[in-house]
Amino acid sequence: MAQTQTLTALAHGSIAMPEVILLTFIIWLTFYLLYLKPQKRQMQARLQAQEATVAGDWVLLQSGLYANIVKTAEKTILVSFDSDGKSQMLFNKTAIVRRLTEKPDVNI
């Protein structure tokens, strides 16, 4: 019954302005808590991982490659993909998705 009255009030434009403002606020608050805040937290964790990397760390890159960091600079990293360090590439630090706690198992 209350839902029907609310829908009728909306259809006739007789809903009060404070109710509209409250409803809009609730929608934005829900959006912030369910989407924006977790995304911000995830981004901060990713930035901390990028800044904390040092030579010798194993990382997962955005491309899905596991790499060993050979050298770091302010905005770039030099990584190696093999055990002898012959195949190296230069990446932007933003390519790091996460730091690994141990060397990945490559026995396939």
- Tens-digit pLDDT profile for residues 74-94: 899 999 988 777 889 999 998
* Regions of the chain with pLDDT less than 50: none
Q: How far apart are CA 88 and CA 80, in angstroms?
A: 4
The architecture that CATH gives domain 54-100 is Roll (2.30)
User: Domain ranges in the chain?
Assistant: 2-48, 54-100
Structure tokens at 93: 């630090």
**pLDDT reported for residue 80:** 92
Cβ proximity of 68 and 79 under 8 Å: yes
Max Cα distance, the chain (Å): 75
Cβ proximity of 65 and 45 under 8 Å: no
Q: How far apart are CA 11 and CA 90, in angstroms?
A: 61
